Amino acid sequence: MNDQAEKLRRLTRALPKKKFVHQALESSSQKCRIIAVTSGKGGVGKTNIALAISLILAKAKYRVLLLDADLGLANIDVLLGLLPKYNLTHVIKGECSLKDIIVQGPEGLQIIPGGSGIEELANIEPSVLQNLLQDIAALDKKVDYLVIDTAAGINNQVLAITLAAHEILLITTPEPTALTDAYGLIKVLKKHSAAGHINLVINMVKDIEDGQAAAQKLISVSKQFLNINLGLAGYVPFDKAVQEAIRQNQSYILAYPRSPASLRTWRIASLLGGLGQNSTGIQDFIKNIIFFFRGERPEGGDW
């Protein structure tokens, strides 16, 4: 069956209301696609949007893994009222295996609490790395999308993740400070020659014009001064449903599926499958992260 048409049908079937005309989704290879959700400024909606997009893909029967890689505040579990016992740090210290830390979320969504694990990959023991890569190889076959919620700003963990991802969803609000910080992050990504295409999501917009004006500013300065063509994934309105859902320990996608924020997020998720081309899987993603931290391939690895 045509992979492209099948993807489109699945997302459209899962829509709460067939309201939007979806763009045709391009086909990707069989391997897991990796989407990093990031921002320059904090508090712009990364965690809520990363979770919402993951749930939409999961509702469409994709196998989705959501990695909470925000060092400071483990947000996704809080948002869903989950209490994970272990995180990636325990795996990296060799105290448990990857499958022990995966938490089951709604709609079959699987969540990995990251802790400070990503950064600690730099110092992982070769034998533990071997086991981890084996576990990941098995996981690679079972996951269609890995969505990563990162911390805000520019630190090594965020850089390592965004540079290794296939797609970067850069969240900002229309506020000048958020736009300036977003531009700062784009500059750094450009300096490091990020391979993933950068796609903007303008969150908490008053109306579409508000979102368009903000997007246009970022797109034109990035083109003019950095020679980067930013993509535009879409807008999410400021919507009390998002805040109301948080109070219920739930994602707005599930609590208020027909709210304006949900419908707009649905639209963004439906376009995501068509972004980027080369999926390399989670194993290569982890290898690239270690490579970023060490600047060399780790000893004892079989790669």
Binding residues for Mg ion (CB under 5 A): 46-47, 75
Determine which helix (DSSP H) or strand (DSSP E) holds 27, and give its type and residue range. none
Does residue 280 touch ligand ATP according to CB under 6 A?
Answer: no
Indicate whether 48 belongs to the interface with ligand ATP (CB under 6 A).
yes
Are 203 and 44 within 8 A, CB to CB? yes
Work out what residue 222 binds among ligand ATP, Mg ion, none; the CB cut-off runs from 5 to 8 Å by kind.
none
196 binds ligand ATP (CB under 6 A): no
Examine residue 291 and tell whether it contacts ligand ATP (CB under 6 A).
no
- The least CB distance from residue 229 to Mg ion, in Å, is 27
Closest CA to 200 of 225, 176, 222, 224: 222
> What 3-state DSSP class applies to 255?
helix
Give min distance, CB of 48 to ligand ATP, in A.
4
Q: Is 45 in the site for ligand ATP (CB under 6 A)?
A: yes
Task: Give the integer Cα–Cα distance in Å for 173 and 61.
Answer: 30
Starting at the edge strand that comes first in sequence, how are the strands of the sheet with 110-113 ordered? 103-104, 110-113, 64-69, 145-152, 33-39, 167-172, 197-205, 231-237
Alpha-carbon torsion, ordered 137, 138, 144, 145, to 10 deg? -60
Which residue type, as a one-letter code, is found at position 56? I
Query: Looking only at residues 91 through 110 of this chain, which bind ligand ATP when binding is defined by CB under 6 A?
Result: none
Q: Please give the Cα distance from 87 to 284 (Å, whole number).
A: 21
When asked if residue 119 is in the footprint of ligand ATP (CB under 6 A), the reply is no
Of 206 and 223, CB closest to ligand ATP: 206
- Of 20, 86, 238, 291, the residue at the interface with ligand ATP (CB under 6 A) is 238
Closer residue to Mg ion in complex, CB, 37/290: 37
Specify the stretch interacting with ligand ATP by CB under 6 A; choose among 1-9, 35-43, 97-105, 124-132: 35-43
Member of 246, 255, 274, 288 binding ligand ATP (CB under 6 A): 246
**Contacts of residue 302, Cβ cutoff 8 Å, sequence gap at least 6:** 130, 133
> Among residues 267, 209, 235, 258, which one has the least CA distance to residue 21?
267
What is the size of the binding site for ligand ATP (CB under 6 A)? 20
188, amino acid identity: V
Q: Which residues bind ligand ATP (CB under 6 A)?
A: 39, 42-48, 70, 75, 152, 203-204, 236, 238-239, 242-243, 246, 261
